Structure 1
Amino acid sequence: MRDLYLIGGAVRFVSQATVGPVAFGSAGNPGEVSIRADLAFIAVGAVSVEQGWSTSNLGEAAMMSDMIARAAKVAVLADSSKFDRQLFARIAPLEAVDYLVTERAPEGELAEALAVAGVEIVAP
């Protein structure tokens, strides 16, 4: 049996995302309580060759970037409307992610860049 944690704390209703710290303190240990994940699922607002993975909110970008660094594997969830777009806050370069889960595989330059970055496309 596994436990499931939703990292964050505050829910941004506009984006339906939780935003908050990935590091935690405790009463007995005021320093950081380190966490790690076998697999992190990250939903992004955009993916492009130039910027990599991005979102429109700085808090989301910081949290996602931190979670990517703490995960053994990372799966990005992004539908095809997010392809070839760039948003305000960069989360990570393409090669920081292991899987792209989407309803339709990207084409052209983005598909080539994802292949070079070692991102496996998971699509029906």
Structure 2
Amino acid sequence: MGALTVCRDCCCGSADKHPGVDHDGQLTAIRGAVGERHRVRVSECLRVCERSNVVVVHPTPAARRAGARLVHLGDVLDDHLVDAVVDWLDAGGPGKAEAPTVLIGCIFDPKDYAD
């Protein structure tokens, strides 16, 4: 089972910052798409507001033990990116499957945005 952490706080999920995005609808779509196969957590601010909406993809426990790490995705603002995240989790996620090409530009290191 994989997991996602979806930031929903000051900028992520903000209609002021992203007025054309249905943030509640996006979260509902993520939860509906992953169903019972993966966990979805909602987080307060992850402090990478420049990359909102942020989604963190967690490796499975076995992949984590084998060295896989969290993958931070930024600018997850439309349905095709959400679909790609879900497809990646279904394929095994970080450490098990390559990130879909459409997500490569979304991957970032949060240390690059540290205060």
Question: Structure 2-normalised TM-score?
Answer: 0.28
> Which structure is higher in helix share?
2
- Which protein is bigger by CA-based radius of gyration? 1
Which structure has more RCO (C-alpha within 8 Å, separation ≥ 6)? Answer: 2
> Which structure is higher in strand share?
1
